[in-house]
Structure 1
Amino acid sequence: MANHSDTMQRFCKWETPFEPFLGKYMEIIDVQGNEAEFTGPMAKRMMPPPEESYIQVPPHDSVSTVFNLAKNYSIKPGKYTVKYTGGGISGLEPDNEIKIVVLGK
C-alpha cells in the first residue's frame, strides 16, 4: 500500500494480506470461470477495531507484505486471476487484480 500524500495515512489490517489467512478477502478465478474454494478460518470481529488493528503509512512511503494463497485456498495447477475484494473495514479500495500461473507436477 502506497501513501502518495503529504500526511500520515492508516488503514485497518483486517480483511487484508497484512493479517494473513484470517478471512476471505481474495477472489481467485481460473480461466474456466471457477472460483478457488476458500479453506481458511473466518473471524468474528468486535467493532470498532482496536487501535492495534491499524497500520500507519508515513507520507510518500509504502508498506508491503508477502503471503501464500495456497494456505487458505484450494488451488490446482492452472491460470488464475486474483482480485482483492476486501475493503469495508480496512478502508482499502478493492480494485487491483493480477494474473498468475500455478505450476504442478
Structure 2
Amino acid sequence: MTGRTPPLGDNQGLWLVVLAAAAGRCQCRGTCGKKHDKDGGRCKTVHGTGPVRLRAAPAEPADLLLPSHKAAALPKTALIAWCPECHDATRRAAAKAREADAPATEPDALF
C-alpha cells in the first residue's frame, strides 16, 4: 500500500462488509425525517428490492457532507448502509442544519 486512501468503492469489499453488518437493510433510524415507527424505528428498505441499491456512507449526518476523499478515509465502523431516499433526506437535513449554524456574513444593523 502506498499510503493513499482507497475510495469507498474499492475492491477490498468495504461495501460488502457494511451491507453484511446491516443484514442487507437500510440502517436509518429517523435522521431522514421519518420515524420508521412501523418498522421498529429502522427503515424497512432492503437491498435489491426493485431498483433499490443500498449505499455505504458515513453514519453521522454531518459526515455525509464531507468531501469524498475525507469520507473515504473513515473507518468501516463509521459507516452504515443507507437507502437512497434516507441518505439524500439526511444529507439535505445536515446541510440545512449547517447553514443554520453558520455565522451571519452580513452585519445585523444598517449602520
Fold shared by both chains (TM-score > 0.5): no
- TM-score band, normalised by shorter chain: under 0.3
Q: Per residue, is there more helix in 1 or in 2?
A: 2
* TM-score scaled by length of structure 2: 0.27
* TM-score scaled by length of structure 1: 0.27
Please say which structure displays the higher CA radius of gyration.
2
Q: Per residue, is there more strand in 1 or in 2?
A: 1
